[in-house]
C-alpha cells in the first residue's frame, strides 16, 4: 500500500524544501522503490502562470501544459520522470475545484464547508497522484512555512490523512539553524519554535532536517531531539552544499532513507547511488571553466540578484558543462545596460557562449536584440530560448533582410512589419480577456530538417518539446527570411509553425521557440545544451591552440 511523506518548512522560506523533497525521493529510488512527488502552493492563483517570476521564481511547464512551481522541475530532474497536472495544486485551484463541484450538485445538496471539504479535496488529489504513478511512496511538499494562515488547510489535510492511514504517513520538518555572527553559536530555538507551531496543527514531526551553514553537531542534535520529541537519529544534518545534487548523498550519510523505511516497517532493498556519486564527483573535481553569459531581465530586485527566475536554464547549462567534465561559470548580463550603451557589448567577447532566455513584455528588448546582433556578427556561440528566438528573427529581419521596422506585435501593436505575431486563436483569447493558461502550453511535435546542426544535435528527425508562449514567427515573412539565409531547421507539423532557426557559417547560432531547459536531466543533459557547450569548449580549445 502506498506510503505518504509530508515535507513542511519552518523558520523561513527558501531553505530548500523542494530540494529536500526531491532528495528524499532520490534516496528511496536508490533502494528500489518507485516515487512520485506533489507540491501544494498556498497562493490563490489557480496556477503559477500568473505569478511574478521575480517574486515566485520560474514558471515550470510539464508535458501536459501545466504551469507550475519551479520545484516540480527539481522533482523531474532528481527523479528522472515526467510529472503532470496531478503533481501540482494551489489554494486557488483547490477552492475552484470544490466550488465547481458544488455548482454541479456533486455534494448531494448538503452544505459545503471549508473543513472538511477543502482538506478532503487535497487528500483526493494526493491519492490520485499516487495512483497515476503507481508509486510506492508519495512525497508531498507543503509550500510556505508552518504558522502561516495560508497553508493551514494543507496541514489539516495531512493531519486527517495520518488519522485515516495509521502507519502509512510520516512528517518531515525542515528548519533553519542560524549562527548569529555576534554570538558565534548555532541556535536551535527557531526550529524548536517551528516544531511547536506544527504541533498546534495537530502534527508531530517524525524527522527534522536541520538546514544551516555548518553541519549539525551532536549537542545540537540532542537538544533538538529533547525539545522537539524526536529520536536523535531522526535529526538530519543538511548543511549548505556547493551543489544541490550533493543533498541525496548528505541524506545517505545520515542514513535518512534507512530510518524512513524503518518507521514504515519496510525491509531495505538495494542501495545504489553509484551513478549519482560519480556525477557529484565530477561536479566537485571539475577545474577548467566554461563561461556562459545569460542576457535577461528577471534577476534584478533592488540590490540583490535572484536566479530562480531562470533556474531550469541554469541547471541545463550545468548539466551540459559537467557532462564534458568542465566547471560552469554563469554570469548575469543586464539587457537594459546594452540599450544605454552599445560600447558595452564588447564584454560579450569574454564569454564562451551567450543565452537569451524566455520572458514577456518590452523592457530590455532592444538591448537583447543588440546582443544577438553582436553574437551573430562576432561569431559568438548563441542559444535563444522562446523569446530569444523571436528576437533573433527580429534582429535578422532588420539587419540582414532590410526590414527596418520589423518587430513583434507584443512590443509594437502597430508595426507594419510584424515578423512575430499572434496566432488567430490567441488574438481571440486576448480580445475576450481569457489570459490564464491559454498560451501554447506543453509538449508539441517538431520535425527537424536533415543536415542541420539541430538534426545533428538530436540525432533524430522527430522530437517533442515543451512550450509556453503566445507569439509565433509570422509565416508571411518566412520566404524573405529564408531567402536571406535564415535556416528554418524545425517545424511543428500540425500547425506549420517555426520551431527552430539556425545560421550556417557560424560556430553555433540556434534559437528555438520551445523551452528545452524543461527536459534536461543531471545524468542526461538536453541535446541542444550539450551541443551548445560542446561548441563553446571547442572555441576555447581553438583559442588556446
Angle between helices 311-323 and 70-79 (to 10 degrees): 20
Residue 517 is among the residues annotated as catalytic for this protein: yes
Q: Is the dihedral of CA 87, 145, 521, 490 positive or negative?
A: positive
Count of C-beta atoms within a 10 Å radius of residue 179: 12
Catalytic residue among 319, 467, 469, 515: 515
What distances in angstroms separate CA 72 from CA 61, 62, 80, 138, 166, one per listed residue?
9, 8, 11, 14, 28
C-alpha cell recorded at residue 20: 529536500
Q: Please tell me what DSSP assigns to residue 268.
A: -
37 neighbors 79 (Cβ within 8 angstroms):
yes
> Count of alpha carbons within 13 Å of 116, Cβ hemisphere only?
8
Q: Are 175 and 236 in contact (CB under 8 A)?
A: no
Compute the distance between CA of residue 175 and CA of residue 16 in angstroms, rounded to an integer: 9
Cell of 474: 509570422
d(CA 124, CA 539): 53
Find the helix or strand (DSSP H, E) in which 257 lies. helix 256-263
> d(Cα 259, Cα 251) in Å, to the nearest integer?
10
Which one of 68, 195, 375, 386 is the catalytic residue?
A: 386
d(CA 351, CA 347): 8
Residue 415 makes CB contacts below 8 A (sequence gap 6+) with 405, 406, 407, 408, 409
Catalytic residue chosen out of the listed positions 472, 502, 517, 531: 517
Please identify every residue annotated as catalytic.
Answer: 386, 515, 517
Amino acid at each position: 500500500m502506498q506510503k505518504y511523506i509530508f515535507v513542511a518548512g519552518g523558520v523561513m522560506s527558501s531553505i530548500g524544501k523542494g530540494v529536500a523533497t526531491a532528495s528524499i525521493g532520490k534516496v528511496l529510488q536508490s533502494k528500489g522503490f518507485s516515487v512520485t512527488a506533489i507540491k501544494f502552493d498556498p497562493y490563490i492563483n489557480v496556477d503559477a502562470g500568473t505569478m511574478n517570476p521575480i517574486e515566485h521564481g520560474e514558471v515550470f511547464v510539464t508535458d501536459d501544459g501545466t504551469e507550475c512551481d519551479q520545484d516540480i522541475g527539481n522533482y523531474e530532474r532528481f527523479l528522472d520522470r515526467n510529472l503532470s497536472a496531478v503533481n501540482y495544486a494551489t489554494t486557488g485551484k483547490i477552492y475552484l475545484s470544490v466550488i465547481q463541484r458544488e455548482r454541479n450538485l456533486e455534494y448531494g445538496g448538503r452544505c459545503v464547508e471549508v473543513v472538511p471539504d477543502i482538506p478532503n479535496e487535497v487528500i483526493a488529489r494526493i491519492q490520485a497522484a499516487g495512483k497515476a504513478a503507481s508509486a510506492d511512496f508519495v512525497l508531498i511538499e507543503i509550500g510556505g512555512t508552518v504558522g502561516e494562515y495560508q497553508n493551514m488547510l494543507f496541514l489539516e489535510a495531512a493531519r486527517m490523512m495520518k488519522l485515516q492511514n495509521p502507519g502509512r504517513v510520516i512528517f518531515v520538518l525542515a528548519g533553519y539553524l542560524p549562527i548569529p555572527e555576534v554570538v558565534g553559536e548555532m541556535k536551535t530555538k527557531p526550529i524548536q519554535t517551528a516544531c511547536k507551531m506544527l504541533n498546534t496543527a495537530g502534527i508531530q514531526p517524525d524527522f527534522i532536517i536541520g538546514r544551516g551553514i555548518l553541519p549539525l553537531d551532536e549537542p545540537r542534535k540532542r537538544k533538538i531531539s529533547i525539545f522537539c520529541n524526536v529520536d536523535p537519529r531522526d535529526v538530519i544534518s543538511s548543511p549548505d552544499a556547493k551543489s544541490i545534487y550533493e543533498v541525496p548523498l548528505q541524506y545517505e550519510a545520515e542514513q535518512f532513507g534507512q530510518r524512513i523505511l524503518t518507521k514504515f516497517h519496510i525491509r531495505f532493498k538495494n542501495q545504489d547511488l553509484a551513478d549519482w556519486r560519480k556525477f557529484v564527483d565530477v561536479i566537485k573535481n571539475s577545474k577548467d571553466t566554461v563561461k556562459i553569459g545569460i542576457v535577461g531581465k528577471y534577476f534584478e530586485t533592488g540590490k540583490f540578484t535572484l536566479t530562480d527566475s531562470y533556474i531550469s536554464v541554469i541547471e541545463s547549462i550545468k548539466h551540459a558543462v559537467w557532462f564534458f567534465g568542465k566547471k560552469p561559470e554563469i554570469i548575469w548580463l543586464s539587457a537594459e545596460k546594452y540599450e544605454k550603451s552599445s560600447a558595452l557589448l564588447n564584454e560579450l567577447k569574454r564569454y564562451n557562449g551567450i543565452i537569451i532566455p524566455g520572458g514577456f513584455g518590452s523592457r530590455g528588448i532592444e538591448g537583447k536584440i543588440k546582443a544577438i546582433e553582436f553574437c551573430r556578427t562576432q561569431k559568438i556561440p548563441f542559444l535563444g530560448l522562446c523569446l530569444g528566438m523571436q528576437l533573433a528573427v527580429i534582429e535578422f529581419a532588420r539587419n540582414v533582410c532590410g526590414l527596418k521596422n520589423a518587430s513583434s506585435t507584443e512590443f509594437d501593436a502597430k508595426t507594419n512589419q510584424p515578423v512575430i505575431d499572434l496566432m488567430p486563436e490567441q488574438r481571440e483569447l486576448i480580445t475576450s480577456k481569457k489570459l490564464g493558461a491559454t498560451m501554447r502550453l506543453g509538449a508539441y511535435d517538431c520535425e527537424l530538417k536533415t543536415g542541420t546542426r539541430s538534426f545533428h544535435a538530436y540525432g533524430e528527425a522527430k522530437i517533442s518539446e515543451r512550450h509556453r508562449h503566445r507569439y509565433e514567427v509570422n509565416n508571411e515573412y518566412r520566404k524573405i527570411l529564408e531567402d536571406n539565409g535564415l535556416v528554418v531547421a524545425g517545424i511543428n507539423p500540425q500547425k506549420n509553425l517555426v520551431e527552430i532557426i539556425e545560421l550556417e557559417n557560424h560556430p553555433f547560432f540556434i534559437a528555438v521557440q520551445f523551452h528545452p531547459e524543461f527536459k534536461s536531466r543531471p545524468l542526461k543533459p538536453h541535446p541542444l545544451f550539450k551541443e551548445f557547450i560542446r561548441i563553446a569548449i571547442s572555441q576555447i580549445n581553438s583559442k588556446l591552440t
